[in-house]
Amino acid sequence: MQNSFAQRRRRDLLVAGGLALLAALVPLVVKDVNVQNIMILTLLYAALSQAWNILGGYCGQISLGHALYFGLGAYTTTLLFTKFGVLPWFGMLGGGAISAAIALILGYPCFRLRGHYFVIATIVIAEIGLLLFHNWDWAGAALGIDVLVRKDSWATFQFTRSKLPYYYFALVFCCVAWLITFWLEDSKWGYWWRAVKDNPEAAESLGVVVFNSKMGAAAVSAFLTAIGGAFYAQYVSYIDPESVMSFQFSLLMALPAVLGGIGTLWGPVLGAAILIPLTELTRNYLGGSGRGVDLILYGSVIVLISLARPEGLIGLFSRKRKEVAR
Amino acid sequence: MGLLYGLIAVGLALIFGLMDVTNFAHGEFLMLAMYVSFFLFAFFAIDPLLAAPLVAAAMFVFGAVIYLVVIRFAMRAKSNIGMVQIFTTFGLAILMRGLAQFFFTPDYRSITHSWLGGKTISLGGVYLPVPQLVGALVSIAAFGALYFFIKKTDFGRALEATREDAGAVALVGIDKNKVFALGWGLGGALVGLAGAIMAMFFYIYPDVGASFALIAYVTVALGGFGSVFGAFAGGIIVGLVEATTAMILPPSLKSVGIYAVYLLVVFIRPRGLFGSI
């Protein structure tokens, strides 16, 4: 059993390396800007969903307020850059640190809540954040902020001529999120989180410090989410509260993991690979009519998959693997 | 307004208390009810106040059908049952919003000449809009009826018993699915009633549910899941807090007060004010 678990991990790593290499080569063939945009978003959401998965999937704390951390990352980077000229790289790390700190502060009271009370608390907190940013004049209030275009370079993390640098950053970000999860899965934390998810009382009695392990998951998850937000702000170079902090984002971060399979390494990747192109394509081709066809399709897919495959799509082709993991 | 929040919330509380499912499509149920009253008014010139029982009946059927067609299967999931329920009802919400946009277009609509619309009466120097006042009265009546219904009738008792122990109930020959379907129907009827009343003084558009849904969840959770009285009390508190916040903070921040009070309450008392679960 121990051996096969190690084997599975080695195979996971190999597959991931292969996929990453393949993904790195794709832009050499695919030059279409729309397709590249979809690929960047897919990678971004795979990473964000992986970040969500750490707290929601492994640790079992279903947060639907991750848009708060996403927004904080985006706002910190953009405000530092436009108001003080601080390079986005520092803003990115700063945003991550702020989000992680806020996750810890919020976690203190929130993790005492259970089930739906916790879910609603996370939604409500993110909503308060949204409303505050809406009314914060210095941060652009409801109008949002345009990110100034300085010059194309890695230092300012701005590229107006090509999407490729963004693509490679998203790819690296996605790989890092995956690797962190991969590493955590087999660490002390990973085992603690699964114990907390399955049965907090039993975990507590076995000496797992339930509260601290939830806090750890929240901090890692928030940090990664904020990095994603910072990247997104640079990528679209315009942010307003609705576009980075609305409830839709919280959902969009959780959905790939749920569709792919929560609490699994590959779930978020698989989910994002299916969901994001589907969303973007339906929006491009059907959404323009303004008649909600994209929403109809999107909603039906979510209902059907969550009813037919409660363990996520990953269950389709890894039955054996699941037995091994048990 | 608080009583209306309570009325919206009580259907949600009923469904939750009944079987531990939070219906995240509740706001969309409300939206549908408002459209039904709008079309009854537009095509048959039925005043929303008269239409309320019709809307409630239609929403009763709708709620029961949704349970039988969708929710029943979501409850069968063996793994991740909490997630499955959350995302099934979320998916349903998105689907309903999309369908509303498709069939009704995203235009804002409103019922212009209802009997009571725009009228106010003066009570001891305070001017009150009549539709809201009637809404409050209907809400109180509905709460009373629901309370009586759950405590005194056979079906109400079956509902409570099924909630306590679905397995034992099956042994005495009560069909769990039938009880749950009726429960969802009842939840739908209550939100239908709320929708019909609200159609008198709110714009009707596909996303209208979303703006009330979060407040409904907060109301339910504030009062404590599974408590009908809690939803009633939660509604009144939410209404009062909203009115107070509106006086102190700019209008765009009025919901912040509600959310803050919710957080304050659950941080101090994690089960809500009257929650038993």
- Burial label for B124, CB within 10 Å (0-12, 13-18, 19+), is exposed
Our CA-based measurement puts residue A259 at a distance from the nearest CA of chain B, in whole angstroms, of 9
Q: To which residue do tokens 């495959």 refer?
A: A309
What's residue B103's pLDDT? 78
CB-based contact A294 B98, cutoff 8 Å:
yes
Name the residue facing B221 among A62, A117, A127 (closest C-beta). Answer: A117
- Whether the full predicted model's pTM is greater than 0.95, yes or no, is no
CB-based contact A120 B218, cutoff 8 Å:
yes
CB-based contact B94 A299, cutoff 8 Å:
yes
- Split at pLDDT 50, 70, 90, the class of B113 is low
Touching check for A113 and chain B: CB below 8 Å? yes
CB-based contact A296 B91, cutoff 8 Å:
no
Our CA-based measurement puts residue A220 at a distance from the nearest CA of chain B, in whole angstroms, of 22
Percent of chain B residues topping a pLDDT of 90: 0
What tens digit of pLDDT does each residue of B116-133 get? Answer: 555 666 655 556 666 667
CB-based contact A303 B262, cutoff 8 Å:
no
What tens digit of pLDDT does each residue of B228-248 get? Answer: 777 777 778 887 887 777 777
**Reported ipTM:** 0.73
- Looking at residues B197-213, what average pLDDT do you find? 78
CA distance A11 to A269: 16
Is A44 in contact with A174 (CB distance < 8 Å)?
yes
What tens digit of pLDDT does each residue of A103-122 get? Answer: 888 887 877 777 777 888 88
Between A232-236, B103-107, B271-275, the lowest mean confidence (pLDDT) is in: B271-275
Within 10 A of B88 (CB to CB), how many other CB atoms are there? Answer: 27
**Mean of the per-residue pLDDT values of chain B:** 75
- Split at pLDDT 50, 70, 90, the class of B2 is low
DSSP-derived secondary structure letter, B79: S
Our CA-based measurement puts residue A87 at a distance from the nearest CA of chain B, in whole angstroms, of 33
What's residue A253's pLDDT? 83
What's residue A310's pLDDT? 66
Residues of chain A where predicted confidence (pLDDT) is lower than 50: 1, 320-326
Touching check for A125 and chain B: CB below 8 Å? yes
Touching check for A137 and chain B: CB below 8 Å? no
Q: Which residue has better confidence, B155 or A230?
A: A230
CATH number of A1-316: 1.10.3470
CB-based contact A307 B73, cutoff 8 Å:
yes
CB-based contact A292 B88, cutoff 8 Å:
no
| Residue of B276, B255, B263 lying closest to B1 (CA atoms) | B255
The upper half-sphere exposure of residue A193, i.e. CA atoms within 13 Å in the direction of its Cβ, equals: 27
What's residue B198's pLDDT? 79
Our CA-based measurement puts residue A150 at a distance from the nearest CA of chain B, in whole angstroms, of 34
Mutate to test the interface with B, among A123, A251, A253, A296 (most CBs of B within 10 A): A296
Percent of chain B residues topping a pLDDT of 70: 74
Q: Residue B261 corresponds to which amino acid? A: V
Residues of chain B contacting residue A291, judged by C-beta atoms under 8 Å apart: 101-102, 105
CB-based contact A120 B225, cutoff 8 Å:
no
Chain A residue nearest residue B76, CA to CA: A307
What tens digit of pLDDT does each residue of B159-174 get? Answer: 777 766 666 666 666 6
Our CA-based measurement puts residue A179 at a distance from the nearest CA of chain B, in whole angstroms, of 25
Q: To which residue do tokens 């995302």 refer?
A: B87
What's residue B122's pLDDT? 61
- Looking at residues B210-215, what average pLDDT do you find? 78
